[in-house]
Amino acid sequence: MAQAREVALSVLLRMEQDDSYSNLLLDAELEKAALSRRDAALATALVYGVVARRITLDYLLETASGRPVQKMQPVLRAILRLGAYQLCYLDKIPARAAVNEAVQLAKKRHLGHASGFVNGVLRGLDRKRGALPFPSEEADVLRAWEVRYSCPRALIALWRQAYGPERTREILEQLNAVPPLAVRVNTLRTTPDALRAELAEAGIEAAPDASVPDALLLSHSADLRTLPAFTEGCFFVQDIASQMACAALDPQPGETVYDLCAAPGGKSFTLALHMRGQGMVRAFDLHAHRVRLIEEGAGWLGLSGIVQASVRDATGGEPLPPADRVLCDVPCSGLGVIRRKPEIRYKNPKIFDGLPDLQYHILCDGAANLKPGGVLVYSTCALNPAENEAVVRRFLDGHAGFEPVPFPSAPAGNATLFPQADGTDGFFIAKLLRRS
């Protein structure tokens, strides 16, 4: 499995150099390397694991070696993190193999004498790791949680202020967990029961979700792309929280619905299925290449007749004929999907400061293109009240013709979904009615 570790190392170094997303770099490296399924799974686990556990790994390495990790060469730092992750989190890999493979990586990268340093640090970590002290919560709770959960203290502080210490601990405990895998059944081509039977034949257990219709929760993340039901467009991957946002909008057959920030198209497709393929879903995005993704997805699922994709600026593009319903699933910080994109946690929270204003203007654009009596849903995958409740309050303060509307599990007209409590991505949904 040495090649898997080489792929993981290349991805980690590219991430540091290019500030790119791990999933995009990993997909590109895996395509080039043509690894076996087993090796590809290991490379994937290593990349996501090292990114997610970086703060904890650096603490352990510094405690074991006495040297600041940030002052090491990037390639040496990445090799040590890979070795430490295997020692501390991958029980099926023998410690000796983890250390030896790290040493071989150092030699292949021409680090010379540093291979001995790698050997010494990792062997020392293996001997001491059960006895290494973690920071005390009594002394500094932010530092203790930062190290234990591998989450920057600035983000922990944001959540503690917004949700309190107990809810914050719950968020942190889910931060590095494997997220659930949910799919939406294309009910124009199959039924939930028929799809469950086909998945069972492939060794994948699937169970219906109580929150939304026509959703299935899968037992494990097999390569779904190889299944005939997938290639035939009988289902697509979509988290339950996203499906709940579409269910809150509750579009009806024959209506006109706008999805203002639609790419890559999953919510537009779910809205079309709610409408049983009757009516029109206009799916907008700012970029032409992302509009093409929507068009390709609609064709694959047999929804081209109802989903119409086009380029439009949702911060105030040309006026549209008023719609019956509008979905504003706005660009956001992504603080609710860190389990899927672990590097988000390391972004400086200050770069999110401009998002609420952008989100507000998109919400206003949605309102301007809605019929009297129409319904508007605002949603984000952010766990951040500044992007959620505060944006909706600002909108309602300036738009007297709108009011919150209750929907399942949200009697006040809005709901924040938390990974541990709700079993979904972190998400916010608000439903508003334009009075006639």
Q: 404 and 255, same structural domain?
A: yes
| Residue 329 annotated in ligand binding | yes
Q: Mean pLDDT throughout 361-389?
A: 98
pLDDT at 18 over 90: no
Question: Do 199 and 88 share a structural domain?
Answer: no
End residue of a domain, out of 175, 190, 211: 175
> Where in the sequence is the domain holding 387, given as residue range(s)?
240-434
Place of tokens 């929280």: 241
pLDDT of residue 112: 80
Dist. CA 347–CA 386, nearest whole Å: 17
In a domain, 57, yes or no: yes
Is pLDDT of 27 > 80? yes
Give the residue-averaged pLDDT of 384-412.
97
422, 429 contact by CB (below 8 A): no
pLDDT of 221 reads 67
The mean pLDDT of the chain is 95
Q: Report CA dihedral (9, 12, 14, 20) to the nearest 10 degrees.
A: 150
How many structural domains comprise the chain?
4
- Cα(34)–Cα(39) distance, integer angstroms: 9
Q: Are residues 413 and 291 in the same domain?
A: yes
Task: Give the percent of the chain with pLDDT over 70.
Answer: 99
Residue 1: pLDDT above 70?
A: no
pLDDT-derived band at 316 (thresholds 50, 70, 90) equals: confident
Runs of H (alpha helix) within 95-227: 95-108, 114-128, 141-149, 153-174, 192-201
Backbone Cα Rg of the chain? 24
Q: Using an 8 Å Cβ cutoff, are 413 and 358 in contact?
A: no
Q: Is 58 one of the annotated binding-site residues?
A: no
Would you give the DSSP letter of residue 407? B
Confidence of residue 130 (pLDDT cuts 50, 70, 90): confident
All residues at 6 or more sequence positions from 261 whose CB lies less than 8 Å from its CB, including other chains: 284, 285, 314, 328, 329, 330, 331, 362
Cα separation of 428 and 103, whole Å?
A: 46
CATH code (residue 389): 3.40.50.150
272 is in an annotated binding site: no
Determine the distance from the C-alpha atom of residue 410 to the mean position of all C-alpha atoms in its chain, rounded to a whole number. 23
Residue 266 annotated as part of some ligand binding site: yes
353 marked ligand binding residue: no
pLDDT, tens digit (0-9, with 9 covering 90-100), for 256-309: 999 999 999 999 999 999 999 999 999 999 999 999 999 999 999 999 999 999
C-alpha 360/C-alpha 194 separation (Å) is: 42
Amino acid 132: pLDDT:
85
User: Residue 365: its pLDDT value, please?
Assistant: 98
Identify the bridge partners of residue 375 per DSSP, sorted by sequence position: 325, 433
CB 195 within 8 A of CB 235: yes
Tell me if 6 sits within 8 A of 71, measured CB to CB.
no
Same domain, 338 and 415: yes
Q: Are residues 367 and 254 in the same domain?
A: yes
* Residue 133 domain-assigned (yes or no): no
Q: Residue 96's domain is classified under what CATH number?
A: 1.10.940.10
Both 3 and 119 in one domain: the answer is yes
Q: Mark whether 268 and 413 lie in a shared domain.
A: yes
Does 135 map to a domain?
Answer: no
Res 317: pLDDT: 80
Least confident of 109-113, 322-326, 341-345: 109-113
Q: How far apart are CA 151 and CA 172, in angstroms?
A: 8
Mean pLDDT on 55-59? 98
Angle of helix 114-128 relative to helix 54-65, nearest 10 degrees? 100
Check whether 46 has a pLDDT greater than 60. Answer: yes
- What percent of the chain stands above pLDDT 90? 89
Tell me: is residue 192 an annotated ligand-binding position.
no
> Is 264 known to sit in a ligand binding site?
yes
Give the pTM. 0.94
Residue 195, domain CATH = 3.30.70.1170
Q: Is residue 291 part of a domain?
A: yes
CA torsion, points 293, 297, 302, 304, in degrees to nearest 10?
-20
> Is the pLDDT assigned to residue 2 strictly greater than 70?
no
The 10 Å Cβ neighbour count of residue 93 is 17
What is the model's pLDDT at position 418? 98
Is 140 among the domain residues?
A: no
The single residue of 151, 234, 246, 381 carrying the catalytic annotation is: 381
Number of residues that make up the chain: 436
At residue 361, does pLDDT exceed 70? yes
Dist. CA 116–CA 310, nearest whole Å: 57
Asked if pLDDT for residue 113 goes beyond 90, the answer is no
pLDDT 10s digits, 173-227: 999 999 999 999 999 999 999 999 999 999 999 999 999 999 999 987 677 988 9
- Tokens 């107990």 locate to 166
Whether residue 85 lies inside any domain: the answer is yes
303 in the same domain as 385: yes
- Shared-domain flag, residues 308 and 224: no
Q: Specify whether 328 is catalytic.
A: no
Neighbours of 168 (CB within 10 A): 23
Please give the Cα distance from 351 to 356 (Å, whole number): 11
Residues 95 and 120 placed together within one structural domain of the fold: yes
Q: Which residue has the tokens 């039901």?
A: 229
Task: Assess if residue 276 is contained within a domain.
Answer: yes
The per-residue pLDDT for 131 is: 82
Same domain, 219 and 329: no
Question: What would the mean pLDDT of 348-361 be, rounded to a whole number?
Answer: 94
Query: Is 265 annotated as belonging to a binding site?
Result: yes
Is 323 in the same domain as 336? Answer: yes
102 in a domain, yes or no?
yes
User: What are the two backbone dihedrals, phi and then psi, of residue 411, each rounded to the nearest 5 degrees?
Assistant: -65, -25
